[in-house]
Homo-oligomer: A and B are copies of this chain.
Amino acid sequence: MKIAILPGDGIGPEIVAQAVKVLNVLGEKFELESAPVGGAGYAAHGHPLPEGTLALAKAADAVLFGAVGDYQYDTLERALRPEQAILGLRKQLGLFANLRPAILYPDLANASTLKPEVVSGLDILIIRELTGDIYFGQPRGVRECPDGAFKGQREGYDTMRYAEGEIRRIAHVAFQAAQKRGKRLTSVDKANVLETFQFWKDIVTDVHKEYPDVALEHMYVDNAAMQLVRAPKKFDVIVTGNMFGDILSDQAAMLTGSIGMLPSASLDANNKGLYEPSHGSAPDIAGKGIANPLATILSAAMMLRYSLNKAEQADRIENAVKHVLSQGLRTADIYEAGTTKVGTEEMGNAVVKAL
């Protein structure tokens, strides 16, 4: 089984190194091959997603991704900026289903800015459509405003679009995920304003007929943003489009107060996937050896479960992470009085030892 390792920028290389260490002690035969991506891709080959990197990602059975972005690339033209790599990989690999768990580990209950009774035991799965919507819809650009009160001025514009098949396939992923969990699915839309999301709602309602054992609820996106603050534990699985999912999955992650703990998976139609931590490249702490590698290690666990068919090994890693937390080991981002502060490397070693 071939795994493409794309460390990226900032803390990416440090945290990915720990996940690689973990993969190497499982006793499985993985072929790991690395390539530069994001700013590192630009620095090496003049493009955030170099051809060789894309070819490797396509050839591999799964991709382990760190994070991209660093100060020195902020002034590049948009097409060359690091985040274009992640958009390009999603689109080119057809990774339409983004799975983002928002889980509050009991040992980290204090890290949340929300009251313990509101978030303790939180366990939501957000499923975000990842290759459609206004992220990729054409036409888009800056043009002369063709009509209305501002006719003749410059205007920026983008196109939100969802085709029936695009909605159906993500709805199936969501209903099936709900079947394996609490059997409740919330589809988030803005059907009261947007044609795209009235259509989304109609199609999700239709797909629901095939999953009578799942309770489906429709919720407007503004209300969802409120309910995530008011009573987040009421959610089980949430499914939504690319743009709303970008916002709500980050909001939900932050409810836990420990975004350094949250993995993510982006899957294609055959469960090939890209796995990355939910947090960013944190250039401010890069190279200091203090970043939290657990979200990346847990992303490797998701990879084993979803793409490599090794659910037992995934369980082993997840249990090892729980074990080091219960031992009181904490990186700086989740440290609190009474626990033991450790660096990136030590945390990785502790997980290896727990395995």
Chain B residues with Cβ under 8 A from A166's Cβ?
Answer: 150, 155
Find A155's partner among B161, B254, B259 (CB 8 Å cutoff).
B161
Closest-CB distance, A337 to chain B (whole angstroms): 16
CA distance A243 to B257 in the complex (A): 26
CA distance A118 to B119 in the complex (A): 15
Whether, in the assembled complex, A32 has its beta carbon less than 8 Å from a beta carbon of chain B, the answer is no
CA distance A324 to B249 in the complex (A): 39
Interface centre among A118, A149, A195 (most CB of B within 10 A): A195
Whether, in the assembled complex, A160 has its beta carbon less than 8 Å from a beta carbon of chain B, the answer is yes
Find A157's partner among B192, B195, B229 (CB 8 Å cutoff).
B195
B156 touches A196 (CB 8 A): yes
CA distance A150 to B133 in the complex (A): 13
Whether, in the assembled complex, A319 has its beta carbon less than 8 Å from a beta carbon of chain B, the answer is no
Look across to chain B and name the residue whose beta carbon is closest to the beta carbon of A200: B156
Whether, in the assembled complex, A107 has its beta carbon less than 8 Å from a beta carbon of chain B, the answer is no
Q: Assess A192 versus B81: contact at CB under 8 Å? Given A160-B160, A229-B251.
A: yes
Whether, in the assembled complex, A87 has its beta carbon less than 8 Å from a beta carbon of chain B, the answer is yes
Whether, in the assembled complex, A194 has its beta carbon less than 8 Å from a beta carbon of chain B, the answer is yes
Number of residues from A at the complex interface, CB < 8 A: 66
Binary contact readout A311-327 vs B (1 if CB under 8 angstroms, 0 otherwise): 00000000000000000
Chain B residues with Cβ under 8 A from A150's Cβ?
Answer: 163-166
Look across to chain B and name the residue whose beta carbon is closest to the beta carbon of A150: B163
Protomer copies: 2
Please report which residues of chain A, range 247-267, place their CB below 8 angstroms from some CB of chain B when the two chains form the complex: 247-251, 253-255, 257, 259
B156 touches A199 (CB 8 A): yes
CA distance A228 to B252 in the complex (A): 11
Closest-CB distance, A313 to chain B (whole angstroms): 31
B250 touches A226 (CB 8 A): yes
Chain B residues with Cβ under 8 A from A199's Cβ?
Answer: 142, 154-156
Chain B residues with Cβ under 8 A from A229's Cβ?
Answer: 113-114, 229, 251, 254-255
Binary contact readout A131-162 vs B (1 if CB under 8 angstroms, 0 otherwise): 00011011011100101111001111111111
Minimum-distance CB pairs A-B, first 9: A156-B199, A150-B163, A156-B196, A155-B163, A225-B251, A226-B254, A222-B250, A229-B254, A158-B160
Q: Could you tell me which A residues sit within 8 Å of B by CB distance?
A: 78, 81, 83, 87, 113-115, 118, 134-135, 137-138, 140-142, 145, 147-150, 153-166, 190, 192-200, 221-223, 225-226, 228-231, 243-244, 246-251, 253-255, 257, 259
